[in-house]
Amino acid sequence: MAKTRGYAPVNGLQMYYEIDGEGEPLVFIRRHLAVADVHAVPALVQTHRVITFDLQSHGRTADLPDRPMSLQQNARDVIELLRHLGISKANSLGESYGGATAVLIALYRPDLVRRVATYGATFGPANEANDAQMLRFLDPPTPDSKSFELQRESYKKVAPQPEYWARFWTKGGAIQWNGFTDGELTSLAVPILVALGDHDFVRLEHAVRSFRRIPNAELAVIPDAGHFALDSEQARVLPIIQHFLTKPAVRPPVATAEVGYRPGETR
């Protein structure tokens, strides 16, 4: 299948999207400030039809200046994009805020979702979810801070108004994300992968707590890895995601001490 790209009318936006690969659809929701590129996950393009996009104000999708940015609105926009593209059910991979957005879609429209893989996602309020040391700045950050150089340069290469970067950065910084309630987490009906690095922006304790509250969840902690390992160390992260997305729905149960390990019956 040849790579396709285009713009879709989505809730007042002209939303940019890209599609490449063959196989089951996989919606790839990138982290905040990132721009769309299906080939950002080349291994997954080999096995899935990957759909990615620029969310409101990101990259090639122009902002709606009077519409606030929120993860809830992002989820509604992705749902509408899938309707426009005629995709009735898909796996999803979301990183950071994109992971929370993917889980919101699973809450709003579980009929659209097969499995949700997340990396570095926050499931609760910032004071519970975030590692304050990893998110500390010596000086107050600005749109021109060196720490945002990659995101700033990527945005300016593709945005219809590159000079809008500072307004986009400031508007994005106003996003309020308080996470999911325990009731919402326990109501999730689709399989969820909670993956993160052991030096992530997200606290390990928060990831474990969230994992224990989601009924059909799996937990993966990547050793000696940070919040951007989905870019910097794909060879360590993507095989875990690939396994989660493609494994059989029914597998032998994990062995307990009482039952023991029996080849072909437990694992």
pLDDT over 90 percentage in the chain = 99
Tally: H helices and E strands in the chain: 10, 8
Residue 197's pLDDT is 98
Domains of the chain: total:
1
Residue 257 lies in a domain: no
Q: Which helix (H) or strand (E) holds 114?
A: strand 113-119
Phi first, then psi: give them for residue 155, nearest 5 degrees: -60, -50
- Structure-token pair, residue 67: 């519409």
Residue 228 lies in a domain: yes
| Helix (H/G/I), strand (E/B), else coil: 138 | coil
Task: Find the DSSP H helices in the chain.
Answer: 42-45, 71-85, 97-108, 126-129, 149-158, 165-173, 182-187, 204-213, 229-232, 234-246
Q: Tens digits of per-residue pLDDT, 141-152?
A: 999 999 999 999
Q: 201: domain CATH number?
A: 3.40.50.1820
Q: How many residues does the chain have?
A: 267
195, 198, 199, 205 alpha-carbon torsion, rounded to 10°? 80
Q: Alpha carbon of 212 to those of 196, 197, 215, 225: distances in Å?
A: 15, 18, 7, 22
Q: What is the largest CA-CA distance in the chain?
A: 64
Residue 190 lies in a domain: yes
Bridge partners of residue 174, in order along the sequence: none
Residue 265 lies in a domain: no
Residue 267 lies in a domain: no
Residue 264 lies in a domain: no
Report if pTM > 0.85. Answer: yes
Q: Tens digits of per-residue pLDDT, 41-62?
A: 999 999 999 999 999 999 999 9
Residue 2's pLDDT is 73
Residue 253 lies in a domain: no
Residue 106's pLDDT is 98
- Tell which residue, 14, 2, 8, has the closest CA to residue 159: 14
Q: Tens digits of per-residue pLDDT, 163-194?
A: 999 999 999 999 999 999 999 999 999 999 99
Provide the 8-state DSSP code for 57.
T
Q: Tens digits of per-residue pLDDT, 215-240?
A: 999 999 999 999 999 999 999 999 99
Residue 16 clears pLDDT 70, i.e. is over it: yes
**Distance separating alpha carbons of residues 114 and 110, to the nearest angstrom:** 8
Residue 261 lies in a domain: no
Q: Which structural domain, as residue segments, surrounds residue 41?
A: 4-246
